[in-house]
Each structure stands twice: as structure tokens, then as C-alpha cells.
Structure 1
């Protein structure tokens, strides 16, 4: 037995370490996802017996105007959230400078990351409150009246996305700070010898070394935009009149409040498919880029 272990320990040791995590992932994530797909094919109130309806939930979903409103809002989230990686990189480059007071500034930018989404939602709800909020105070200083952002069907989604973007920028900043600390001094020195400064140094020396960090930042940011729920729940509950709802909140609303778990599972399945398509496309793009560079 001991000899067998010694001969195969190169793959046995990592396998034993990976197995517990893989088992938990399989049960909690994979099995739950498959169970959601199965539930989406039924009419179920969450307690009684399930009734098979096949693709009936999906047919109803694709005729539901609220679904397209939520899908449009998710796309708005996705587009606006893509500002987080470049802004996070810019802030990381700023606070990474060896200047007096930068540690204090870095801690200020780090604060949103440690705040719960519920706390962020409460803070921005107060900020947007007409009459007494910070936004109203700023507008009144210029003799103007602040718009009621959370009551405006055209602006409410953007107001909520801006609130969620604040901690997401902090997250990307932390990722890029870790990447900047791992830059090769030899490559930077070679770039300086070749006359690279400022933008040229950033583009040709720094950014190529941050490609893996950028991949993680974009992927996590996109997934965060598509699965947004908590801050919508805190700030608007999908209102006014469902105009700020997103797919995750619509799924929650249909399942918990309307007792339509089959319909909610259908929404979850569509959301999962959108995420899977995006991740597959992004991974393929990264793979092609790496092959081209190789």
C-alpha cells in the first residue's frame, strides 16, 4: 500500500485535496442547477405535487412583457458595469504610487468593498431621497431641484446601477492592486531602457502582464451584473411598476410572492443560459487571443 502511494502520490495527493470541494460543488451547484431545470418543466407552488407542463413556463415567459423589461435592465447593468474594470485599474494605478498619504486614500477606496450590498442600497436610497438627500442638498445649493430618481421609470435603473457600481469598482481596484504588486521588475526595467514612459509603458509593458487579472475582473463583473438582486430588492423592489426589475429579482418575486416556483425556475434557467453563453464566448475570445500571441 505504501509503495502504491509513493508511485502515484503525484496525482493521488491533489486528488484527495480536490475531492471534498468537488463533491460540495457537485451537490450544491451542479445538482441544484439540474434540479432547477427539472422544476422549470412543471407547475409547482413549492409545497404540493408538481404538475408536468413541459415547455409551458418558457412559452409563457417569452410572451411576458415583464420578462423583456427585466432582460433589458440586465443588459443595462452589464453595459454600465463594464466601466468597473477600467475605473478600478485607473484608481489602482493612482493609489499604487509611492506618495505620502496614499495609504489613507487606498483605505477610503477600499471601504465600499467591505460594506454589505444592503448597506450600500440604504446609503444610496438616502442619497437619492428628494428634499433631504445628499443629491437634493447639492442641487439646492445651485438653486435647482433634484430629480426623484427612484420614482422615475426612465432613470431608476441607472440610479440603482450606479449604486451597485460603487463597490464593484472597489473590487476591481483590489484585483488590479494585487496584479500591480506582481509585475516583473525586469520587464519594467527593459521597457525603461527602450524609452517606454507613461502611456507606452502602460500599454506595452504593464497591461500585458495584467491580462489574467483583467480576465477575472471582466468575468466576475459580468456575472455580478447578470445576477444582480439584493440592491434592487433594497432600493426599489423592482418598482416603480416593475421598471427596475431584473431577471434575478423577477425570479424571486414569482417564486416567493406568487408561489410559482416552476415559472421562477424557468427564469433562473434562462438566466443561467445567458451567463453560460457569455462565459463560453469570453473564454473562447481569451483562448484565441492567447493562441494569437503564442
Structure 2
């Protein structure tokens, strides 16, 4: 199953990136031409810059998820209802989240316009659009990280925590020296899924801005889709996919090596 649905598509994409193909006629071998064109395209650097912006802002999701998980990890009346409310964004479709925030940002009738007293075209301004979409994406991503940390908190060693409290550890000292070291595997998973989510962001961009205005909010995943589906440039699209895959692979390999070194 892994060979069929993971390894084969990866190898096929790498192979396809060396061809010019519209999906219907015969493929033409072009060597590195797709990569040369990609690295000379201004849209590629705009997409790469936006991916880095997504990455930096998305890194807020794990600490926010941890903070919410610590708040919800208590036995008080009604906490299950509160957990459900915080978990709700995660089960929503990306299309639904995109529509909700599109209405929220609408400068004529949106809630943001009512709060500020005047409309701001967040999704129509090249300076604001990426920040607006990332803010929308952080809503479900934070809920996902919260679930990971809630699961991790249930597996904490109670004896270590009790011993630390007997030694006088409280508040930040207890969190930093006792709780967070035990949550290191959970933090690793939260970071990996957050980084991958930031690099392959697509659905909210498609729903909220379609990469606009003037391709100012496009990212590598949407740029790849745009070239394949709209312009039938499957070889060029595969080259974008290979570059995106390489970026993810470098990060995950580095982070995994760092985690294993810390464990040793």
C-alpha cells in the first residue's frame, strides 16, 4: 500500500518534472528546463515568500494549542462542553472555514467591519490578504494541536509531577522542567504536522482569494495546482511539487535527527 500510494507517486512526479506534458499528447523530454523556468519565475519567489510567512505564523499554533490544553486539562463541571467548543474548528471542512472568514472579512457586511466601524478589504489588498488567510487557518490548526497536547497530558508520569511539587516546583518551573520534557514527542508531532500544514496550504487560499489579488497570496501548492489544472502544464507543475517535497523533506529530516539526538 505504501509503495503504491506513496512511493510510486513520488517517483512518478520526479520523473514527470523532466518532461513537458499537457496530459493528452505525448510527453516531451526537456531535462532541467522546467526547473530553470521555475527558478526564473517571479511568481515562484512570491509563492516561496508566502510559504515562509505561513511557516512563521503557523508556528504559533503549537504554543497556543498547549496553552488551551493546559487550561482544559482540569476536572471541573462543564469542562467537556468547553472542550467540544474548542475542538469544533478542527472538524470543520477547510471550505467551510474559508467561507466563514470570507464573510467575517467582508468590508460591507462582515463582522470585522462592524467591530472596526468601517470596512477593510482584507482579501482584496495585497498587503493584508496573506495575513488574513493565515489567521483563518490558525483557527483549526490550533484546535488540532490542542487535541495532540490533551492526549499527551493524559500520559504524563504523575509520580514525577508529585515529586516536583514536593520539592517546591510550581507554575512555570513545573511546566518547563517537568511537564514539557515529557511532552517532547507530542511537541515533535505538533511541530511536524504544523510545518507540513503550512507548506501544503491550499484549500483556504483557493476558497478565499484564488491566489490573488495579482497572485500576491499564492503559495507553492496553489501555484502547482494553477499550472496543472488551468494551464495543463503537468511537467512544470511536477517540478513545483518536487521543490515543495524537497523543502518538507529537509525540514523533517533535520527535526527528526535533532529529536533523536536529544533522546540519546
* Range into which the TM-score falls when normalised by the shorter chain: over 0.9
Could you tell which deviates more after superposition, 66-75 or 187-196? 187-196
5+ unaligned residues in a row in structure 1: which ranges? 1-23
In 2: Cα distance, 1:123 partner to 1:129 partner: 10
Give the aligned partner of residue 251 of structure 2: 278
In 2: Cα distance, 1:102 partner to 1:149 partner: 35
Q: Does 1:121 align with 2:98?
A: yes
Render the CA deviation track for 1:103-123: whole Å, top value 9, x for unaligned.
Answer: 221111000011011100010
Note if contact 2:43-2:215 (Cα within 8 Å) is conserved in structure 1: yes
Q: TM-score under structure 2 normalisation?
A: 0.98
Q: TM-score under structure 1 normalisation?
A: 0.88
SS of the equivalent of 1:74 reads: helix
Given candidates 138, 160, 163, the residue that maps to 1:187 is 160
**RMSD of aligned Cα (Å):** 0.8
In 1: Cα distance, 2:253 partner to 2:183 partner: 21
Q: Does 1:198 align with 2:171?
A: yes
Given candidates 212, 216, 225, the residue that maps to 1:239 is 212
Q: Which has the larger radius of gyration?
A: 1
TM superposition outliers: structure 1 runs of 4+ over 4 Å: none
SS of the equivalent of 1:263 reads: helix
Q: Does 1:156 align with 2:142?
A: no
In 2: Cα distance, 1:47 partner to 1:25 partner: 28
Query: How many equivalent residue pairs?
Result: 264
Give the aligned partner of residue 3 of structure 2: 26
In 2: Cα distance, 1:150 partner to 1:233 partner: 12
Render the CA deviation track for 1:79-98: whole Å, top value 9, x for unaligned.
Answer: 00000000000000001122
Could you tell which deviates more after superposition, 282-291 or 151-160? 282-291
